[in-house]
Structure 1
Amino acid sequence: MLRLSPRWTRWAYWVIAIAFATAAVYCASSSLHEYASGPAVVWISGRTHVTATVTGTVTAIDVQPGQAVEPGQLLVRFASPVELAELQRIDREFELQLAKSLRDPADQAAREALVALRTQRDVAAARLEQRSARAPQAGVIGDIRIRSGQLIEAGDIVLTLVGHDTRCSVMAMLPAHYRPQLRPGLSMRFEANGYRYAYQPMQITAVGGQIIGPDEVKRYLGQEIGDTISVQGPVVLVEATPATSTLLVDGQSFELHHGMSGIAEAQVRTESILLSLFPSLRVVLRRLHG
């Protein structure tokens, strides 16, 4: 008995054969990229934290955000009734002893008192000066972290001072097992939180030499940023420099600011799709090349 196959089966055979051949060529010629992914934060260098040297209550803030300041300019004043009263008392005593010395130049006791009062006045003036904060360098006022009437402790950040020479970079915390594959020059991209798919391309400029844990990451980032980043397990710090300090979203440019967080992805390996589907081919290729 003679059986004739339908005509469409021949067409289906060739369609399947062509599709298989196309898929084989695609798998052999195309590649898959492996990325090391982890949390990241925008880091603006050239920022200085001005801190309080004593515990006290803020009485006056003499600057505003965005204001340019010069070295030594007064920024913040703290309540200092005791120090001010002591300095005024010494000044009055100094004037009395000076008047005695002028009336009687031979009065040795008045002269000795003047010498002692000068020293006391310098010490009192220094203590009064500690009840204020001055600009350590020229720059522009960034964030002001205090308000008038607030009680702060010694070491608390009063405000930030942005220098004239600033540099924008991205600090990424990538999984520690990728450390052998990470090196300067690799490509990395940054996606800021709230700006989905707005990738910022950049190159890795530095890779940490040690593996660190979550607590060390928080200590490195500081109290202002450390609590905003969630790190699980050991990581390696990676620094990358973007081409610009702006983020392009739907044709609009937005400035990157210190502390903005997001996700960083560093390309660590490229492999053909064929080898990914058939890992045993790696052994065959090694033998052919070995």
Structure 2
Amino acid sequence: MPAGAIPMQAATPFFDCVRRITMQRDLVSAEHLMRREIAMMSSADRVYCLYHQPHSASLWALGDDDKMRQMPAKGLAVFAARSGSALCAERAYEYPEYNGATDDPEGDGRERMIVQPVAVFGEVLAVVVAVRRGQAPSFNAHERGMIAAFVELCAPAIKHLLLAKQAKGVERQQSGGGVFRTAALDAHSRGKQGGRALRLTPRWVRYAYISVLLLVALGVTFSALAKVRRYSGGPAIVWIEGDEVNARQPGSVARVLVAPGDAVRAGQPLVRFHAGDEEAELRKLDTEYERQLAAFLLDTGSKAARSALSATTTRRERARAKLQSLTITSPSAGLVNDVRVRIGMAVKPGERLLTVVQKGNPPTVVAFLPGRDRPQLEVGQKLSLELDGFRRQRHEAVVKEVGREVLGPSEAKRYIGGRAADTLNLSGPVVLVKAQLSKRTFESDGVTYKMHDGMRGLAEIALESKSLLQTLLLDVTKK
């Protein structure tokens, strides 16, 4: 169909699309626009454009990255390029020249196809392949004519852009891949539009300068107002004060009569030691005492009988007292706490068995703080305790006693005795600080727990507060 035979109702959008193609600056954009218009005017499912090189008789496909990819040298497109004739196939596979890799990589050969050469003065520049699925109607004469007329009008623009692309490739090869020559050619191809006035200092530098000044001002203000506290910190132990019950003599535990938390009265038995020999000795003396008493009653005037009875009575009372000493009783009324013995355990004299504390007696925190901070520590300061295993859980206490002397690690451990002294890791001189907690329970994640004697943690006391600026200046002057 000649261009002049296009119907009037289709002429305006037809020539408008041709005009837009001729205005494109690069081959990729022009090809994309041409393929889209052909697909719209012919209701094709897909449209391909393959470029022909007469000297090599090969076809090339242009990618979105503006790079050419060589196609197989066979197919209906190759036939149309070499013959310069258009071809309309009802079924592509019916033609022996058909090659799916070249003509329609997405098809299976049953599609309907128009193969239209793009030529200028008899020179075939490219081949346009319009594909419609096999179930769709065949391409009619009107659609074939519209495609032929459209391609004929677009051919000069395609040739111009193709020559420009080839020239650009030659220039790049001759310039050795230099950046400036290629950039100059690209700018020249875009036209003679003047650039903006040269600005040696970018605009963002001015805004960046103002932003830096504002940040510096904010930083100085913040450092002058923000307070930095210095803390004295060190390991700490929870100490529930009460009456310690210790072993008076060596022995083996036979029974533990109480459990932690039991309420006891003064004199109530707590722990019994094995007393097999002592009980046997007492039974023997009881038998001897009864025999001596019977002999004395038969002859009350006998001095020998009186003397023997007196000696047996003394030995009997001494054995009973020794047996009673193997039963440990409570020194006061209160609650059993920190039971450290079990049945069958061998203990030494002075070893702690358990502790009896008064009801409602709040726990004490014994903190081991650095000795250098002793001049700044005083009674009444606030102590913050963080127990091991309960991170970010702070417990406030009031300092009630500060050690007068700075102790070494071994002396400090000797002070607390068996209260988890082996678990403390002390290095350097320390000062002992005692603080009173307000209650014996604490909450963590919604669960209430009890304070137990010997629990470890980290204690801190705020010593002084200075501005961040003062702290930085002091560090600089010290250096």
TM-score band (shorter)?
0.7 to 0.9
Is the aligned partner of 1:103 residue 2:298? yes
Tell me which residue corresponds to 2:432: 237
Tell me which residue corresponds to 1:64: 259
Q: Greater CA radius of gyration, 1 or 2? A: 2
**Which TM-score applies when normalising by structure 2?**
0.54
- Of residues 128-137 and 214-223 in structure 1, the stretch that sits farther from structure 2 once superposed is 128-137
> 1:224 is paired with a residue of what secondary structure?
coil
Is the aligned partner of 1:125 residue 2:320? yes
| Structure 1 residues 193-246: Cα deviation after superposition (integer angstroms, max 9, x where no partner) | 111111222332221111101101111111231011110111111122233333
> 1:166 is paired with a residue of what secondary structure?
coil
Structure 2: tracts of 5 or more residues without a match: 1-197
| Residue 70 of structure 1, CA deviation | 1.9
Contact conserved, 1:49 with 1:159, CA < 8 A, in 2? Answer: yes
**Which TM-score applies when normalising by structure 1?**
0.86
How many residues align? The count is: 282
Decide which structure has greater helix share. 2
What is the rounded CA distance, in whole Å, between the counterparts of 2:284 and 2:199 in structure 1? 123
| Structure 1 residues 230-269: Cα deviation after superposition (integer angstroms, max 9, x where no partner) | 1011111112223333333334432222111111111111
What is the rounded CA distance, in whole Å, between the counterparts of 2:439 and 2:270 in structure 1? 32
Tell me which residue corresponds to 1:145: 340
| Structure 1 residues 99-156: Cα deviation after superposition (integer angstroms, max 9, x where no partner) | 2333343334333333332222211211222222222222222233233233333333
Tell me which residue corresponds to 2:120: none
Tell me which residue corresponds to 2:391: 196
Decide which structure has greater strand share. 1
Amino acid at match of 2:276: P
What is the rounded CA distance, in whole Å, between the counterparts of 2:441 and 2:272 in structure 1? 36
Is the aligned partner of 1:25 residue 2:221? yes
> 2:260 is paired with a residue of what secondary structure?
coil
CA distance change for structure 1 residues 78 and 88 in 2, over 3 Å: closer, same or farther?
same
Contact conserved, 1:198 with 1:247, CA < 8 A, in 2? Answer: no
Amino acid at match of 1:15: S
> 2:378 is paired with a residue of what secondary structure?
coil
Is the aligned partner of 1:270 residue 2:459? no
Tell me which residue corresponds to 1:54: 249
What is the rounded CA distance, in whole Å, between the counterparts of 2:217 and 2:434 in structure 1? 43
What is the rounded CA distance, in whole Å, between the counterparts of 1:54 and 1:243 in structure 2? 37
Amino acid at match of 1:166: N
What is the rounded CA distance, in whole Å, between the counterparts of 1:122 and 1:92 in structure 2? 13
Q: Which has the higher contact order (CA 8 A, sep 6+)?
A: 1
Percent of pairs with identical residues:
39
What is the rounded CA distance, in whole Å, between the counterparts of 1:206 and 1:193 in structure 2? 23
| Residue 183 of structure 1, CA deviation | 1.4
Structure 1: tracts of 5 or more residues without a match: 283-290
Tell me which residue corresponds to 2:365: 170
